[in-house]
Amino acid sequence: MNYPDKVRIVEVGPRDGLQNEKSIISTDTKIKFINILSKSGLQNIEAGAFVSPKWVPQMADSAEVFNNIEKNPNISYPMLVPNQQGMEKALESGVQEIAIFAAASESFSQKNINCTIKESLDRFLPVIESAKDNNIKVRGYLSCVLGCPYEGDIAVETVSNTAKTLFDMGCYEISLGDTIGVGTPLKTERMLESVMLHINKENLAVHFHDTYGQALANILIALQKGIAVIDSSIGGLGGCPYAKGASGNVATEDVLYMLSGMGIKTGIDSASLKQASDFIFKYLDKESNSKYRLALNG
Ligand code: HMG
Ligand code: MG
């Protein structure tokens, strides 16, 4: 079996991780959290979201967070952007990478961003144009690729066609999201095979929530398919407010443990990650989901 030599981890803890948290996390804590993460060797840290503060109050201070983090020039700090209004904020803050987000499920699209899939793609066109004009990289998320909280199974053709559309619109990478963590390995394999008919593995990432403990098994399948970009969240934080039942993302510490055990390089220092995890969990009303972190603690 061939595996990639090197994997790039996209840390989504400060955005996906915190967006669903009930505890009030101060702007200063978010800034310190990202600054600690920046010292771990991560190359991509999703720092926040320019979405409506009424929809996702926890992300309301994203501009302040972004403007005050110590930016390492070797790290990309993408911000989620749902529409032109979000794009204007990205431009004001001098963001160098944005992530747009669409869904493979109509019902989830309505619940999450209040429009149909087609309307969302139409909305993203001027956002992408404006990003191009300003030399801003655009990453594309596709949610519900292995199931939807409202519709259940989603046809693989819908997933692969929507992923292709997003990619053709100008995203440099499509992150395939198992938003509610219902995927299992063979289902993941079928979905990836269908998407890879249209998009090269070099332009794909995987984003697994870990509701049923399937994320690492699914990631192994993605690695076997040659996909070398993995989204994860420190301590397994995460969840989408509009996807009932969605548990946390796969824990970055657990992904790192698996990859280092397989001899796959990430450039990330696990001790610094643990520092970031210990820091943020002091402010949250829960324990880390990472088995690796627990093992380290004895
Ligand atoms: P809407 O209500 O249809 O928007 O929401 P609207 O254009 O009608 O505007 C309504 C109000 O929102 C107005 O304010 C606008 O100014 C304001 P009002 O006049 O009522 O005071 N507004 C904004 N404010 C700040 N920033 C903006 C913005 N846009 C409008 N960008 C909208 C549509 C898309 C804005 C809303 O539905 C929204 O913000 N949704 C975001 C939901 C979200 O963030 N979900 C979580 C992220 S996605 C995810 O977690 C999945 C992922 O991890 C992958 C996976 O796991 O699958 C990425
Ligand atoms: Mg997510």
| Closest residue by CA, ligand 1 atom 17 | 52
240 is catalytic: yes
Assess whether the C-beta atom of 85 lies below 6 angstroms from ligand 1. Answer: yes
pLDDT tens by residue, 204-231: 999 999 999 999 999 999 999 999 999 9
Q: Are 255 and 228 in contact (CB under 8 A)?
A: no
User: What domains, with CATH codes, occur in the chain?
Assistant: 8-297 (3.20.20.70)
pTM over 0.85: yes
Mean of the per-residue pLDDT values of the chain = 95
Q: Which of 50, 51, 113 to mutate to test the pocket of ligand 1 (most atoms within 8 A of CB)?
A: 51
Q: How far apart are CA 147 and CA 43, in angstroms?
A: 29
Give the sheet arrangement for strand 137-143, strand by strand: 44-45, 8-11, 229-232, 204-208, 173-178, 137-143, 97-103, 79-80, 48-49
Q: How far apart are CA 91 and CA 132, in angstroms?
A: 12
| Closest residue by CA, ligand 1 atom 46 | 240
Q: How far apart are CA 65 and CA 31, in angstroms?
A: 6
Ligand nearest 104 Cα, by number? Answer: 1
> Quick one: which atom of ligand 1 is closest to the CA of 178?
57
Q: How far apart are CA 183 and CA 246, in angstroms?
A: 12
CB atoms within 10 A of CB 119: 13
pLDDT tier for residue 286 given thresholds of 50, 70 and 90: confident
Q: Are 15 and 46 in contact (CB under 8 A)?
A: yes
Separation of CA 50 and ligand 2 centre (Å): 15
User: 229-232 and 8-11: which strand pairing?
Assistant: parallel
pLDDT at 141: 98
pLDDT tens by residue, 33-59: 999 999 999 999 999 999 999 999 999
pLDDT tier for residue 235 given thresholds of 50, 70 and 90: very high
pLDDT tens by residue, 160-219: 999 999 999 999 999 999 999 999 999 999 999 999 999 999 999 999 999 999 999 999
Q: How far apart are CA 35 and CA 80, in angstroms?
A: 19
Q: How far apart are CA 38 and CA 161, in angstroms?
A: 35
| Closest residue by CA, ligand 1 atom 28 | 52
